[in-house]
Amino acid sequence: MSALHHRNYRLYWFGQLFSVLAQNMEAVAQSWLVLEITNSPLLLGLTGLTFSIPTIALTLLGGAVADRADRKRIMILSQIGSAVMFLLLAILAITERVALWHVMTLAFFSGCLRAFDRPSRMALLPQMVPKHDIPNAVAIGGTIWQLNKLVGPALAGMLIYLIGIGATYLFCCAASATAIFLWFGIRLDSQQITASAGGLLQNMLDGLNFIRKDEIYYTFIGMTFFNSVFGMSYLILMPVFARDILSVGSEGFGFLQSAGGAGALCGVLLVAYFGQARGKGKQAISGALAFGALLIVFAYSTSYALSLAMACLLGVASQFYMTTIHAILQVNLPDQLRGRVMGIHGLAWELMPVGGMIGGVIAEVSGAPAAVAFGGVMVAGMALAVTIFLPSIRRLEQ
- Domain boundary assignment for the chain: 2-183, 202-394
pLDDT reported for residue 345: 81
**The CATH classification of domain 2-183, taken from the options 1.10.260.40, 3.40.50.280, 2.40.128.130, 1.20.1250.20:** 1.20.1250.20
For 15, 41, 82, 86, 339, the CA distances from 22, given in Å and listed in that order, are 11, 23, 9, 9, 23
Cα distance between residue 162 and residue 293, in whole Å = 44
Cα distance between residue 278 and residue 297, in whole Å = 30
Closest CA to 303 of 231, 240, 245: 245
Identify whether the C-beta of residue 357 lies closer than 8 Å to the C-beta of residue 233: no
Amino acid at 360: G
For 75, 108, 141, the CA distances from 6, given in Å and listed in that order, are 19, 36, 13
pLDDT reported for residue 306: 93
Fold agreement (2-183, 202-394)? yes
Cα distance between residue 226 and residue 375, in whole Å = 8
For 9, 91, 105, 335, 350, the CA distances from 124, given in Å and listed in that order, are 10, 33, 29, 9, 20
pLDDT reported for residue 250: 65
Provide the residue-wise pLDDT of the chain in tens; the chain has 398 residues: 777 788 888 999 999 999 989 988 888 788 788 888 888 767 776 787 788 788 888 888 888 888 788 888 999 999 999 999 999 999 999 998 988 899 899 989 998 998 888 888 888 888 888 777 777 887 788 788 777 777 777 788 888 888 888 999 999 999 999 999 999 988 887 655 555 556 677 777 777 788 788 888 888 888 888 888 888 888 778 778 888 888 887 667 767 777 887 888 888 888 877 766 777 888 889 989 999 999 999 999 999 999 999 989 998 998 888 888 888 888 777 777 777 888 888 777 777 767 777 887 888 888 889 989 999 999 999 999 998 988 888 877 76
Closest CA to 237 of 342, 373, 119: 373
Q: Look up the CATH number of domain 202-394.
A: 1.20.1250.20
Identify whether the C-beta of residue 35 lies closer than 8 Å to the C-beta of residue 146: no
For 26, 50, 79, 173, the CA distances from 159, given in Å and listed in that order, are 12, 25, 22, 14
